[in-house]
Every structure is written in C-alpha cells, then in structure tokens.
C-alpha cells in the first residue's frame, strides 16, 4: 500500500513538471510559426496553472 503511494507521488513529481514544460514549449512553437492564437494562449495558461514560471522563492528570514 505504501509502495503504491510512493510510486504515485513519484509519477506526479515527474509528470506534472514535464507536462507543464511540454505545454509551454508547444505554445511558444505555435506562436513562433503562426502568431498568437487562442490555442497557444490556452496552452500557456494551462502550463502556468500547472507550474507558474515566475514563482517567488520563499525565504525564511
């Protein structure tokens, strides 16, 4: 049971950042080829929802 949870956590720790990076890269590629469109904006917004690129680092002091 614990092994299953660890495997799920590991998959999500790798899959979510990869999906966000892939969506962001695809968005940039589409915009470079065809200009801004609804699809490229939707991909960029989805990537920002999954992993914001400009997140501020928290400091403890």
* pLDDT tier for residue 37 given thresholds of 50, 70 and 90: very high
pLDDT at residue 52 greater than cutoff 80? no
Residue 55: is its pLDDT beyond 60?
A: no
Task: Report helix angle 38-50 to 2-34, nearest 10.
Answer: 150
Q: Decide: 51 and 16 in contact? Cβ < 8 Å.
A: yes
Task: Give the global pTM.
Answer: 0.69
Note the pLDDT of residue 60. Answer: 66
Q: Which two tokens stand for residue 5?
A: 């949870």
DSSP 8-state class, residue 53: T
Q: Which helix (H) or strand (E) holds 35?
A: none
pLDDT at 53 over 90: no
């Amino acid at each position: 049971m614990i092994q299953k949870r660890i495997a799920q956590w590991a998959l999500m720790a790798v899959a979510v950042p990869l999906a966000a990076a892939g969506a962001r890269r695809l968005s940039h590629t589409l915009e470079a080829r065809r200009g801004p469109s609804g699809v490229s904006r939707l991909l960029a917004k989805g990537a920002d929802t999954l992993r914001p690129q400009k997140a501020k680092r928290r400091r403890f002091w």
